Amino acid sequence: MFIGHQGVAFAAKKAAPGVSLGALFLASMWLDLAWPVFLLLGIETVEIKPGITKIMPLDFVSYPYSHSLLFAALWGTAFGLVYWMLRRDSRGAVVLGTLVVSHWVLDFVVHRPDMPLYPGSIRLGLDLWDSVPATLIVEFVIFGGGVAIYLLTTKPGDRIGRYAISGLVLVLLAMYIGSLVGPPPPGWQPIAYSNFGSLLFPLWAWWADKHRTPRDRLAPPRAAAELRSP
């Protein structure tokens, strides 16, 4: 899954309004950021096979340490623990850890049966990528729903808060559409390095989110407002 991961991150702002959207993005993308490290170290393997699915031309030969359910749970636990140590925010830590694990769940829906439960286990997947219409519907519903929840949960504090989020959404959509119509990657190395480039999105989300305010903090309680009135 692609923009579906960011859609879940957008929606998670409602569950943890005190957590930066940048941290939510980072958690939702964490497995895909760990994956190129293992590729470059020669620990995990991917091959280019155009036509293997109608959406994705990659054969994920082996990626148990970045994309098995067991390691997703371990990564999620570590991510949440580090956040808790830095912020002492239990709710935020749980939401972030859950977001990391949600990546495996969403990938299980779209991938071929190549998602391991643990290193050396059977591999699972519902293969939604073999249907272009179904894939597009699921991706856009999750992404659109997540963005809508975020916009209903927060309000821009200034022009940056309004236009930076709009720009982020448009760029994510454009890159997703480009990945669908563009040619297959020339090799696995460009895939690995381009995945590191996706770190731009958590940074962008953090910047935009700093210029937005949770809606429940915008106005004082009605009683307090009435006390201040003449």
**What does the buried/exposed string (b/e) look like for 89-100 if buried means 16 or more CB atoms within 10 Å of the residue's CB?**
beebbbbbbbbb
Q: Is residue 221 situated within a structural domain?
A: no
Query: Mean pLDDT, to the nearest integer, of 122-135?
Result: 96
Residue 95 lies in a domain: yes
Cβ atoms of 198 and 28 closer than 8 Å: no
Instruction: Please count the structural domains in the chain.
Output: 1
Residues 225/28, Cβ–Cβ less than 8 Å: no
Identity of residue 101: V
Task: Judge whether 218 lies within some domain.
Answer: no
Q: Is residue 25, in this structure, part of any structural domain at all?
A: yes
pLDDT digits (tens, 9 = 90+) for 173-225: 999 999 999 898 889 999 999 899 999 999 999 999 999 999 875 444 443 34
Give the model confidence (pLDDT) of 70-85 as tens digits.
999 999 999 999 999 9
Query: In this structure, is residue 106 part of a structural domain?
Result: yes
Domain span including residue 172: 3-213
User: Per the domain annotation, does 168 fall within a domain?
Assistant: yes
Task: Give how far Cα 100 sits from Cα of 45, 91, 110, 204, Å.
Answer: 21, 15, 17, 19
For 139-168, write each residue's pLDDT tens digit.
999 999 999 999 999 999 999 999 999 999
How does pLDDT run across 9-18, given as a tens digit for each residue? 999 999 999 9
Query: Is 227 inside a domain boundary?
Result: no
Q: Flag whether pLDDT at 28 surpasses 70.
A: yes
pTM tops 0.75, yes or no: yes
Residue 219, domain member (yes or no):
no
